[in-house]
């Protein structure tokens, strides 16, 4: 097993067991639900937007380890960012897991999120990894639901 996939497994397991920002946010001014029928992952993203800034973001729901770990890390990555920065992260993450962005060769803002690059080898898992990102983006746009179908 390569070093990266070992790290990947450890991080996924850790975030699955102890998801960060995993709570219903009463004061949220944006909220969107995401559903991935392929796997059964279901989650709700809560956001507290203040002007142009994601002041707070949280999630709750149920799903496989990849969807939960990805949501957990997405909230950490997006918290405190501007709307434009959150959009850039969405695009980079999406392009990375679909194989359009080579995170080694192209400058990007993904940081720890690059551990999800291995997902592109498993097309059925790409939707698990991107569900929280699509849902976060829907919430930013004021949409209330998104399905990866």
Does 39 interact with Zn ion (rule: CB under 5 A)? yes
Beta bridge partners of 5: none
Does 11 interact with Zn ion (rule: CB under 5 A)? no
Give least dist CB 125 to Zn ion, A.
7
Rounded Cα distance between 16 and 62, Å, is 10
Beta bridge partners of 45: 32, 59
Comparing C-alpha atoms, which of 42, 15, 50, 7 is closest to residue 134? Answer: 42
Q: In the window 67-86, what residues touch Zn ion (CB under 5 A)? A: 67
Say which DSSP state 23 is in: S
Q: In the window 111-130, what residues touch Zn ion (CB under 5 A)? A: 128
Say which DSSP state 19 is in: -
Does 65 interact with Zn ion (rule: CB under 5 A)? no
Does 97 interact with Zn ion (rule: CB under 5 A)? no
Does 41 interact with Zn ion (rule: CB under 5 A)? yes
| Contacting positions for Zn ion (CB under 5 A) | 39, 41, 64, 67, 128
């Amino acid at each position: 097993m390569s070093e990266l996939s070992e790290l990947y497994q450890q991080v996924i397991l850790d975030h699955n067991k102890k998801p960060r920002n995993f709570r219903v946010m009463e004061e949220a001014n944006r909220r969107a639900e995401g559903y991935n029928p392929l796997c059964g992952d279901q989650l709700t993203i809560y956001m507290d937007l203040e002007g142009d800034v994601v002041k707070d973001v949280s999630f709750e729901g149920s799903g496989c380890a990849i969807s939960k770990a990805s949501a957990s890390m997405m909230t950490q990555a997006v918290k405190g960012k501007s709307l434009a920065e959150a959009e850039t992260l969405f695009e980079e993450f999406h392009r990375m897991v679909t194989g359009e962005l080579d995170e080694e060769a192209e400058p990007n803002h993904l940081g720890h999120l690059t551990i999800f690059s291995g997902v592109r080898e498993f097309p059925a898992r790409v939707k698990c990894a991107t569900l929280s990102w699509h849902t976060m983006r829907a919430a930013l746009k004021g949409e209330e639901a998104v399905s990866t179908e």
